[in-house]
Structure 1
Amino acid sequence: MKIKAIITGATGMVGEGVLHECLQHPDVEQVLVINRKPGGVSHAKLREIVHNDFFDLKAIESQLTGYNACFFCLGVSSVGMDNDEYKHLTYDLTMNVAQLLATQNPAMTFCYVSGAGTDSTEQGRLAWARVKGATENALMRLFSNAYIFRPGFMKPTPGLKNVKSYYKFIAWLYPIGRALYPAGFSTLQELGLAMIKSATQGYEKRILEVKDIVALAKR
């Protein structure tokens, strides 16, 4: 199966890594990135829309049809943010985009980058985990082909722009962590490959923890 994918968050580390894998993968025919600012990537498969307001997509709505996958990598940290603002920029923003895509591309595979420790019950102690859990649950109700990815520590893909400087200082940790605690460590390349393969092959679980991400990437 060949896919035509929409990617959000491609100017961030995770989205850039997923985009990198898509542009190299033979099963990905076309990629549309929706960025708030130009991403600076040029490729024959790639088209970019620069659009600042993800709460108002009317101006670009007609350009979002004909895609059978969405890799939603857009997200914010909850650090220093009050609960209402975090919910608005996580749940409300994601669902605004997802509901439009579900209307225009109902058979789409929607892949959402969540995070380890997310609370599916929506009842836990941590506010960010409840919000992420609510977002995951709503997406799985909306799309019959929704996959939730919960990465932990990810080794970035060498050579990309968004490899944070602090990773250079903790790079030594990755091989140790992967050996001692494989359930918490993967590479960004594995995440990208697993997202592509969920769209082309499917997966037996709708929520993919780190071990599932690594296993699917290897298939």
Structure 2
Amino acid sequence: MKVIVFGASGMVGYGVLRECLVDPLVTEVMVVGRRALGRQHEKLTESVQPDMSDLSTVDFAGYDACFFCLGVSSTGMTEAAYRHITYDFTMAAAKPFAEANPDSTFTYVSGMGTNANGRQMWARVKGKTENDLLAMPFKAYMFRPGYIQPMYGATSRTALYRIALTFVAPLFPLIRRLAPNAVTTTEQIGRAMLHVAREGAPKQILDPKDINALR
């Protein structure tokens, strides 16, 4: 299986990339991002794209799945700026990928509470993104994780999240026992993405419970 990963420098993308590289059924992984990861692996190739809204130089043909993990926090951002990164970047990847691989799988990391008609700005933007992806010809799956525990060296690029995760990490086993349907890990998200790429899933919008059920 050949896959593309967007956002591999972020916490979720890092975890997804790791699972792709250790999975024996994945033969090739292309990472697309604004800067090189500086990582070497026999399966891995990189496409550095300074302008993520124009991916005309990326060859999307021949891939079985695209795992789109690129995203930013909406904190302190205007709606226009947040939409540019969240919606425009996603569409810039999804449209040519769908044209090149209409029978493939596209997974998108969204968030709990996403709603195109919601009151919160980020929820509306992600909701619009989800709806447009679901209307495309490929098999689209929306991942809506809640609390995400980073694994195997994955770290958030958002300073506030890093601080919060540092304090919460020791409590993760307790949180998982008390609220098993609200938490997941970067490892499980990666495994679940590979699962839907190979076998699909019962539904297209997946919450933490659905993500954790896919192996």
How would you bin the TM-score normalised by the shorter chain? over 0.9
TM-score (norm 2): 0.93
Equivalent-residue separation in structure 2 for 1:91 and 1:181 (angstroms): 31
TM-score (norm 1): 0.92
After alignment, is 89-98 or 196-205 more displaced?
89-98
Equivalent-residue separation in structure 2 for 1:131 and 1:190 (angstroms): 25
Q: 1:30-87 deviations in whole A, cap 9, x for unaligned?
A: 10001211112111111111111111122x23x2211110000001111000111111
In structure 2, runs of 5+ residues without a counterpart are: none
Match of residue 83 from structure 1: 79
In structure 1, runs of 5+ residues without a counterpart are: none
Secondary structure in structure 1 of the residue aligned to 2:181: helix
Structure 2 residue corresponding to 1:154, chosen from 148, 154, 169: 148
Structure 2 residue corresponding to 1:36, chosen from 34, 41, 59: 34
Checking the alignment, whether the CA contact within 8 Å between 1:36 and 1:50 is kept in structure 2 is: yes
What is the one-letter code of the residue matched to 2:16? Answer: V
Structure 2 residue corresponding to 1:124, chosen from 118, 122, 125: 118
Q: 1:96-139 deviations in whole A, cap 9, x for unaligned?
A: 211111111111200001111111xx212111101111101100
The offset of 1:212, in angstroms, is 0.3
Match of residue 139 from structure 1: 133
Which structure 2 residues correspond to residues 65-214 of structure 1 after superposition, within 5 A? 65-119=61-115, 122-160=116-154, 164=162, 166-214=164-212
The offset of 1:158, in angstroms, is 2.6
Sequence identity (%): 48
After alignment, is 156-165 or 178-187 more displaced?
156-165
After alignment, is 184-193 or 83-92 more displaced?
83-92
The offset of 1:144, in angstroms, is 3.7
- Provide the aligned length of Structure 1 versus Structure 2: 211
Compared with structure 1, are the counterparts of its residues 144 and 56 closer, same or farther at alpha carbon in structure 2 (3 Å cutoff)?
closer
After alignment, is 163-172 or 77-86 more displaced?
163-172
RMSD over aligned CA atoms reads 1.5
